[in-house]
Chain A
Amino acid sequence: MAVILGRARAVVGQNVPKVDGIPLATGQPKFTLDLDFPGALVGKILYSPHAHAEILAIDTSEAERVPGVACILHYGNVPRVPYTTAGQGWPEPSPYDTVLFDRKVRYVGDRVAAVAAETEEAALEALQKIRVEYRILPAVFTIDEALAPGAPIIHDEPDAQGIYDPQRNIAAAVDIPIGDLARGFAESDVIVEETCEIPYSQHCALEPHCVLAYFDEDGRLVLRTSTQVPFHVRRIVSRVLGIPLSRIRVVKPRIGGGFGSKQEVILEPVAAALALRTGRPVRMALTREEVLVSTRTRHPYRVRVKLGAKRDGTLHALEMEALGNTGAYGAHAGTVLYNVGSKSLPLYNKARHLRFHGKAVYTNLPVAGAYRGYGATQAFFALEVAMDELAEKLGMDPLELRLKNHIREGESSPIFEKLGEGREGKAQIIRSCKLAEALRIGAERIGWYEKRRNPRREGPWAYGVGLACAMQGSGITGIDMAAATLLMNEDGSFRLLVGATDLGTGSDTVLAQIAAEALGVPVEKVLVYSSDTDFTPFDTGAYASSTTYVSGNAVLRAAEEVKRQILEVAAEMLEEPVEGLVLERERVVSRRTGRSVSLAEVGHRATYVANQRQIGATASFACPESPPPFAAFFCEVAVDTETGVVRVERFVVVADCGQPIHPKLAEGQLEGAVVQGIGHALYEELLFSERGSCVNRSFFDYRIPTALDVPEIEAILVPSEEPTGPFGAKSIAEVGINGPLPAISNAIYHAVGVRLTRAPFTPERVLAALKAKGR
C-alpha cells in the first residue's frame, strides 16, 4: 500500500530484482557455514554456570585426553588484552573491560574456556571434562542493586580502561542541561511525568552466530564470518591476538540477519586463537540456546520523562532520565545511553529548557549490545507515552500535539551539538522532514478521528487506537566513513566493490542502483562485490542506519568520477568537447550532432585501443551530518478485558526516508522493524532465575512473532528530498522499531483506560493494570 511520490528515475526509485534474490531463493550456498572445509576442527565454548565468580583453578588434563581434542584455551594460556566486543569505529567509545578469557566470570553464559576438536562430539565431551574451581561472589541483577552502596564491584580488574566509575558499577554516565529546567517547569501550565521500562530482549536473527577460521595459501588468517562489521573484526582480532592487521582477511558472505547482534565481535577472536594455536581450520557455530544465553541483547532501560507545556500545547520544558542495564560488560554502554537522548529529543525541538541525564550500569546479567533502534527505541517508548498523557491533560488530540511540536525543515535542535556518539555531537539543521504529511496520511488510513471519537466494544473486547512518532539518524556524524571502488569492464559493464555490509537488508542492491543511476545503465550492468577486507575498500560497517546514506554517497562519488572518465574517452572518440556530451541509456551522445558511442565501445577503446587505461575510481564519504528519517505509527488494538490478551488489529506506519532508492526494500525494512517492535510490546522478554540464569532458552520459551501473531503491516513511504543524501535518500532500517511500543501502549489506554508502561504487555500485566484500576 505504498504511495510513491518521489522523482521518477530510470533505476533509483524502481523495484529492481534484489541482486542476490534468486540465488537466495534457490538455496545457493552463500552463507558462512555453507562452505565445507575438510579437516576443519570444531570449536566449542565452555560457559560460566555462575553469575559472578572467581576462577580459582582450571584443570584440563582429563579433557585433553579425550580422543580428537586438539586444543583447549583458557585464562592460563592466552595473552590478556583488554578490549571491547563492540564493533565500533576507532577510537572505540566502549570501555575495554573484556578479555579473551578471564579469571573472573560475570554472568551465567560468560566464557570460561574454548575447545577445538576433530568432531563436535569430542569437543562437547571435552567441555564436560574441564574441571573449574569457582569461588562464588555475590551478584547483582538489577540497576538498583548494582548502584546500592556496598554492592559487589563487577569490574575490579586493574587493567580495564574507559569505565566511567568502576567502583560504583557505572559503565557510562551523562548529564546535559540546556536552558534552565526549573524555570521551564515553573513557567509551564501543564506538567506530566511518566516512567517506562524495557526488559532484556534479543535480536533472534535466524542464523545463529558462526565463523570459519582458516589459513590461505600464503599462511594468512582468513575469517569467513557472519558479521556486520568486517573491518572492525579485522582491527579487533589483530589487537587481541597481537597479529598484524595485514595478516588477516575478513570475508562476510551472505548473513542470516543481524539487527545489531552481529555488530559484536564475539566468536571471531576465539576461532582465530584456536586456529592459530592448532594451525588448523576451525569452524564455530552457536546453538540457538547459546545465542540466547551468551550473546547480546537489547539494553534494558528505565526511562523517566517529564514534560512541561503551555496551555496551547507548546512544549516548554523537557527532562529525560535514562537508567540502563549494560549487563556484565559495557559493549555499547555509553553510545546507547547517549543515543537515548540524541535520537529522540530533537524530535520535539520546541522545548527550550531541557535536561538529559542518565547512567548505564553493570549487572551480573547477559551483555547488552547494539540492537536496531539503539537507545531510541527505549526513549520513544517513554517520550511518546508521556506525550499521550500530556495531550489528555491538555484536552488536545494527540495528533495535534505532535503537529504543534515536532521539528520542521530548516530547524535545528541544540541536542545535535551537545550529544554525539558517547561524546559531543555536531550541530545540524533538518533539511528534509515530511512528518506532518506522514501523520496526516496515517490518520486517514487508520480512520483516526472517527475511531478516537467512537471507541468500539464487542463483548469482552475493547478496541482503541493509538499513535506515536519517531526519528533516527543516517550514520554517525564525524565517525562513519565508507569507500567504494567502481571499475569499468571492457564490455561496458561495471564492478562495484564496497566495504558496505549487506546483512539481508538489500544494501548490495541499493548501492548497485545508485551506481547504475549515475552511470545511466541498467542495474544488471553493475556487479556488486561487498565486504571482503582484502578486495573491497574500507567501510565502518552496517550499523547506525548508515549504509544507504554513507556508503551510498561514496558509491555516488565514485560513479561521478567514473562518468567523468567515460566522457573523456568518448570525447576523444567523438572529437567533441566533454561539455557537449551526455551519458544516457548506456551511450554517450553528442548534444550537437546526435552522434553517439556505446559504453561497450568506450570500455573496449580504453582497455585495448588508444590511450589505454583502467576506467575506474575509488571514492570515500565521511559522514558530515546524520539526517534523520521520520515516521508516524498508528495502530488499532483489541483488548480482552476478561483475559488481558491484546491483539494488534491494524498497524499503519508512514515514513519519510528521503527518496526511497528501492521502495519495496524500504517497505520491507519498515514492516520487519514494526513486527520486531510488536514483539517487544507483546511477547518478548528474557527471564532469569534467582541465580541470574536465563530461563527461556529456546524459541518455544522465548517467543518471537509468527505470521499469525501480527496483522498485515501497512507501510507507506512519504518521499522527501534530502539534499545531502544520494539521490535524496536517507536511512530506513531502524526507525520502524521505535514506534510500536508507545503506539500500542497508547492504543491500550484508549481502549481500556490503563497505561502499560512495562513491556511486554502480557495478559498478566494488562489484567493487573485493569484490576488496579478497579474494573
Chain B
Amino acid sequence: MRVYFELNGKPQYVEVKPGESLLALLRRLGMKSVKEGCGMGECGTCTVLLEGKPVRSCLTFAPKVQGKRVTTVEGLGSVNDPHPLQRAFVEAGAVQCGFCTPGMILTAYALLEENPDPTPQEVREYLVGNLCRCTGYKKIVDAVLLAAQWKREGQWR
C-alpha cells in the first residue's frame, strides 16, 4: 500500500509493507536516528513527532502517518547547523552513548512547545517514558532547562 506523508518538511510518497512499523519505515527511508531499543514501546529510543506530538514509532503502524507530519531529529538540525536544543544537549553533557538522545531531544522539543518554562520535576515527568542507561538523567534535565532558557531568550527556531 502507498502512503503519503510529510517527513521533516519534505513530501514522501512511499510503498509500505504489510504490518510495517513506522520505525522500520523511517529507518528504511534513511532516518537512522530512530533507534530500536526494545521494539515494544518500553524505552522511548524510537520516539518521533507525529503532528508535533511524541509517539513511539515501534508501536505505530506505518499507514497511520497517512497525510500527517512526521519529524525526526534529522529534521531539527544538522551537523553543521544544529538546532539549539541539540546544542544544549551537548553543552550540558547530556549525551553519553547517544543512543537515547534522538528520542530524548524530540520529547524535550514537544515539552518546550507546550511549556516553555518547565520546572525540573516537570521535565522529569515529561521524559519518564524515555529511558537512559548512561547519564542518570541529571544532565538531560539540565540540558532541557538550558534549552528552555535559550528558547525564552529567543534563541530558537
Contacts and interface: CB of A to CB of B under 8 A. Distances in A.
B133 A204 contact: yes
Interface string A691-702: 000000011100
Nearest to A674: B136
Interface string A300-317: 000000000000000000
B32 A504 contact: no
A671 B139 CA distance: 9
Given A25-B98, A26-B73, A26-B77, A668 B134 contact: yes
Contact of A21 (B95, B138, B141): B95
A18 interface: yes
Contacts of B100: 206
B49 to A, nearest CB: 13
Interface string B49-93: 000000000000000000000001110111100110011011101
Interface residues of B, number: 56
Nearest to B129: A706
A503 interface: yes
A174 to B, nearest CB: 31
A453 to B, nearest CB: 29
B140 interface: yes
B38 A698 contact: yes
A707 B105 contact: no
Candidate in B72, B135, B140 with the most chain A CB atoms within 10 angstroms: B135
Name A's interface SS: loop
B21 interface: no
Nearest to A667: B93
A29 interface: yes
Contact of B32 (A34, A287, A698): A34
Contact of B40 (A18, A285, A698, A708): A698
Contacts of B76: 26
A452 interface: no
Contact of A22 (B39, B72, B90, B137): B90
Contacts of B86: 22, 25-26
A181 to B, nearest CB: 39
Contacts of A713: 136, 138
Contacts of A668: 93, 96, 134-136, 139
A593 interface: no
Contact of A664 (B79, B93, B102, B123): B93
B43 interface: yes
Nearest to A28: B79
B38 A672 contact: no
Nearest to B33: A27
B96 A22 contact: no
A289 to B, nearest CB: 8
Nearest to A502: B97
Residue among A23, A207, A665 with the highest chain B CB neighbour number at 10 A: A207
Contacts of A621: none
Given A504-B98, A664-B139, A707 B90 contact: no
Contacts of A387: none
Contacts of B40: 288, 698-700
Interface in A638-697: 664-665, 667-668, 671-676
Residue among A25, A664, A665, A673 facing the most chain B CB atoms (10 A cut-off)? A25
A664 B94 CA distance: 9
B128 interface: yes
Interface in A338-387: none
A166 interface: no
B35 A256 contact: yes
B90 A25 contact: yes
Contact of B99 (A28, A31, A664, A665): A31
Given A699-B131, A713-B136, A26 B99 contact: no
A504 B82 contact: no
A259 interface: yes
A15 B94 CA distance: 13
B151 interface: no
A704 interface: yes
Given A22-B86, A26-B78, A707-B127, 8 more contacts: A15-B93, A26-B73, A205-B133, A208-B36, A257-B134, A668-B93, A698-B38, A700-B40
- Lowest 7 CB-CB distances: which A-B pairs, in order? A27-B33, A504-B97, A256-B99, A24-B98, A671-B136, A21-B90, A675-B136
12 contacts: A21-B89, A26-B33, A27-B31, A30-B98, A256-B98, A257-B96, A288-B42, A288-B43, A668-B135, A672-B133, A672-B134, A707-B132
Interface of A: 15, 17-18, 20-31, 34, 203-208, 254-257, 259, 285, 287-288, 503-506, 664-665, 667-668, 671-676, 698-700, 704, 706-708, 710, 712-713, 715
Interface of B: 31-40, 42-43, 45, 72-74, 76-79, 82-83, 86-87, 89-91, 93, 95-102, 105, 120, 123-125, 127-141
